[in-house]
Amino acid sequence: MNNQPNNDLKSKLLADFRTSEERMNGASKSALHQIRREALNQFDRLGFPTVKHEEWKYTNVNSLIKEVFEFNASSELTVEDLAQLESSRLDGNVLYFVNGQYQPHLSKIVSPASQLTITTLAEAVKTTPDLLHQYFAKYADFQDNAFTALNTAFAQDGVVINVPANTTVEASTILRFVSDARHLNVASQPRNLFIVNTNAEIKIAESFRTLGDQASFTNVVTEIVVAEDARVEYYKIQNESDMAYHIGTTQVHQKDRSHFYSATVTLDGGFIRNNLNIALDGSECEAHMYGLYFPNGRQHIDNHTLVDHRKPNSHSNELYKGILEDRSTGVFNGKIFVREDAQKTNAYQSCKNVVLSNDATMNTKPQLEIFADDVKCSHGTTTGKLNEEALFYLRSRGIPKVEAQSLLMYAFAEDVIKKIKIDTLREQLERRIQAKLAR
Amino acid sequence: MLTISNLQASIGSKEILKGINLEVKAGEIHAIMGPNGSGKSTLASVLAGREDYDVTDGSVLFEGKDLLDLAPEERAAEGIFLAFQYPVEIPGVSTTNFLKTAMNEIRKYRGLEPLDAVQFLKLMKEKMKLVNIDQSLLSRSLNEGFSGGEKKRNEVFQMAMLEPKLAILDETDSGLDIDALRIVAEGVNQLRSPERATIVVTHYQRLLDYIVPDYVHVLYKGRIVKSGPKELAFELEEKGYDWIKAEVETV
Ligand SMILES: Nc1ncnc2c1ncn2[C@@H]1O[C@H](COP(=O)(O)OP(=O)(O)OP(=O)(O)O)[C@@H](O)[C@H]1O
Ligand SMILES: [Mg+2]
């Protein structure tokens, strides 16, 4: 596994870890650090994945590991700089991280402490070590995934949200991760942990943006614990540069009667791999996953999802849609496990793609592994061109070709867009998608 | 208004239209009849600009302009409208939504100001009444799950909205109940004026009781093999096409 020709990034990371460990002076004995060390060792064993690895067959990280990045580079991002990101004012709790570092002067928390506690990971390490000990790295498995191992070993900051039982967080929470790549290649490894206790409810969005033309690498891991009867809406919005590498894992753990509702929208980004893993470790759970990706140029967008039905009577539903232009590539890999105990499972999966150019490629792979006998499962993938009949119909009514195409593409994308229930976020996305379509 | 000369069109290596000649003057209504597969819809599609067909010979002039040079949307803006025999279903696009875009694109082409939402709604209400179509149908995804009759009615509604100079109705009457048939006919007759013309493709003389044509043409194997006054339609209804086929074969 250590036989990769270009493994400079790996040796650099291993060396970095040891150097920082030497400077830790005592803290290296903490339980948290033991986990980090274990994760590092696992990363060392695994190495970066090659295309020989089944899970990475279509997503080649070679060019990523050849880049040289500055990890956690400090940035003097101001409120004025943010204007370049053209984001309209977002309501609710908004937390900014730039190159992985929390930016209190750009952030605001409006929810009362009675509704949620929201802290940075760095702070939580000091103030609530017991909470971290209970949850941190307990869900996102790093035995099999080198990037999750890497994140677990290195993550310095991120957001820890804890919603007390029987509480509805009224305001939505938006976490914005900005890579400031104006001056140099930057990398960050944010780590988030959301604990939504019994019968609590929250809406959270993660947004990823890049400033500047240098390369950036974000390796993010988010763990979401959804307790009995809790309800979580989770959105991941990616709007990064063509020079951005993004690898992310969102790990969800659901207990009885909980609801998890998510949408992953990738508008732009150079090289993207999203893992969304949901363990339905309770009965009568619901999990909804929507996705939209829209690569052009040479962008590469890979969505891997995994739904693990472990208990009876739960329902999962998945719809991913893609529009691919130019020489872009897309990957959808959707796994559904239905374990022996998970009788009366309902699981639906669908992935639909429109490929607009002969040079664009979409790889889809649904994987169903069903060990229970009384289940309803269905899956389907389609990949095709824009409907020519529909295009002609619209043109015959007077709508020029380009507008007719964007009308059809927007209609295709809207199925997913309208699933986003944070209004300001949805409206912003609607505008961005219209703009990308009109290009 | 419309002059079709020796129009020949094929799809792949299959010749479908083999030399169509037809002259339609402003104010006229022409009916085109003919057996299944004779090329009626192909003719309608070629006039509307469907790119699947190759025009291999001939010309089409519309108000002096070379129609075959124009994109489908330009033809629409010039005033051509095709009511499709099989209207396509378009998920996620409502009639109301796309029709507003269409109208304003056509207005832009003609150098007119766009209609605002209020003007558009007013016009819609008026035309909805005319073709007796329900608002709820127009806000649904275009034709998705519409009944056969509803699809046809929606075509006539769009025609009423766009007020074309030349309307081509491809079997708009098939699948319609008697009441709907009358409504469709009313829609066409409303548009009847000295400046406009209509081509109706139909299999049934019945429609021609309501939309009285000036001429009836029979299209067979890619050619117009017989033309005559409205009485020709009665003759066809009574005798079928065999006698015409026989006439063609003996020539
Ligand atoms: N896309 C196509 N590919 C191959 N053949 C085609 C295509 N479109 C039309 N044709 C053929 O061209 C011929 C004429 O078809 P067209 O639809 O114009 O007939 P029509 O007169 O409208 O018939 P109907 O009365 O049944 O509507 C038919 O033989 C048909 O099969
Ligand atoms: Mg036909």
Closest alpha carbon within chain A to B79: A398
Nearest CA to ligand 1 atom 17: B41
Min Cα–Cα distance to chain B from A399, Å: 5
Tell me which residues of chain A have a pLDDT lower than 70: 1-7, 25-28, 86-88
In this prediction, residue A26 carries a pLDDT of 65
- Cβ contacts of A414 on chain B, cutoff 8 Å: 92
Q: What letters, b where the CB count within 10 A reaches 16 and e where it falls short, cover A364-391? A: bebeeebebeebebebebebeeebeebb
In this prediction, residue A174 carries a pLDDT of 95
Query: Taking Cα atoms as reference points, which of B230, B206, B213 lies closest to residue B24?
Result: B213
**Residue B157 has which token pair?**
């509604």
- Cβ contacts of B71 on chain A, cutoff 8 Å: 395, 400-401
In this prediction, residue B176 carries a pLDDT of 84
Identify each DSSP E strand in A212-299 by its residue range: 216-226, 231-239, 244-254, 259-268, 271-280, 286-293
Nearest CA to ligand 1 atom 1: B11
**Residue A183 has which token pair?**
């001056």
Put simply, whether B76 touches A (Cβ < 8 Å) is yes
Nearest CA to ligand 1 atom 19: B37
- Cβ contacts of A403 on chain B, cutoff 8 Å: 101, 105
Q: Which amino acid is at A283?
A: S
pLDDT at B59 over 80: yes
In this prediction, residue B206 carries a pLDDT of 86
What are A227-273's pLDDT values in tens digits?
A: 999 999 999 999 999 999 999 999 999 999 999 999 999 999 999 99
Picking from B11, B41, B97, B105 by the largest number of A CB atoms within 10 A of its own CB, the best residue to mutate is B105
Nearest CA to ligand 1 atom 4: B11
* A400·B90 Cβ contact <8 A: no
Which one of the ligands is nearest to B42 CA?
1
CATH topology of domain B2-250: Rossmann fold (3.40.50)
Mean pLDDT of B180-205: 89
Q: Between A401-417 and B95-109, two packed helices, what is the crossing angle to 10 degrees? A: 150
A302 or B232, which is more confident = A302
Closest CB from A400, A411, A415 relative to B93: A411
Residues A418 and A92: their CA atoms lie apart, in Å, by 20
Min Cα–Cα distance to chain B from A293, Å: 18
A35 or B238, which is more confident = A35
In this prediction, residue A23 carries a pLDDT of 79
The finding on whether B158 has its CB within 6 A of some atom of ligand 1 is: no
Mean pLDDT of B114-132: 92
* A396·B162 Cβ contact <8 A: no
Average pLDDT over chain B, rounded to an integer: 92
What are A115-146's pLDDT values in tens digits?
A: 999 999 999 999 999 999 999 999 999 999 99
* B105·A403 Cβ contact <8 A: yes
Taking the centre of ligand 1 as the mean of its atom positions, its distance from the CA of residue B39, in whole angstroms, is 6
Question: What letter would DSSP give residue A83?
Answer: G
The pLDDT-based confidence of B190 (bands split at 50, 70, 90) is confident
Tell me which residue has tokens 């909470």. A131
Taking the centre of ligand 1 as the mean of its atom positions, its distance from the CA of residue B20, in whole angstroms, is 15
Put simply, whether B99 touches A (Cβ < 8 Å) is yes
In this prediction, residue A3 carries a pLDDT of 44
- Bridge-based pairing of strands A101-102 and A93-98 is antiparallel
Taking the centre of ligand 1 as the mean of its atom positions, its distance from the CA of residue B40, in whole angstroms, is 8
pLDDT at B240 over 90: no
Please state the domain extents for chain A: 67-385, 386-439
In this prediction, residue B250 carries a pLDDT of 77
- What's phi and psi for A225, nearest 5 deg? -105, 115
In this prediction, residue A7 carries a pLDDT of 54
What are B147-161's pLDDT values in tens digits?
A: 888 899 999 999 999
Residues B229 and A244: their CA atoms lie apart, in Å, by 71
Please state the domain extents for chain B: 2-250
- Cβ contacts of B101 on chain A, cutoff 8 Å: 399, 403, 407
In this prediction, residue A87 carries a pLDDT of 67
Residues A172 and A346: their CA atoms lie apart, in Å, by 30
The pLDDT-based confidence of B243 (bands split at 50, 70, 90) is confident
In this prediction, residue A269 carries a pLDDT of 96
Closest CB from A390, A412, A414 relative to B88: A390
Nearest CA to ligand 1 atom 3: B11
Instruction: Provide residues of A within 8 Å CB-CB of chain B.
Output: 387-390, 392-401, 403-404, 407-408, 410-412, 414-415
What are A290-305's pLDDT values in tens digits?
A: 999 999 999 999 999 9
- Cβ contacts of A393 on chain B, cutoff 8 Å: 84, 87-88, 90
In this prediction, residue A276 carries a pLDDT of 98
Q: Between B242-250 and B231-239, two packed helices, what is the crossing angle to 10 degrees? A: 100
A to B CB pairs, distance under 8 Å: 75
Question: SS3 for A287-323, per residue?
Answer: EEEEEEECCCCCCEEEEEEEEEECCCCCEEEEEEEEE
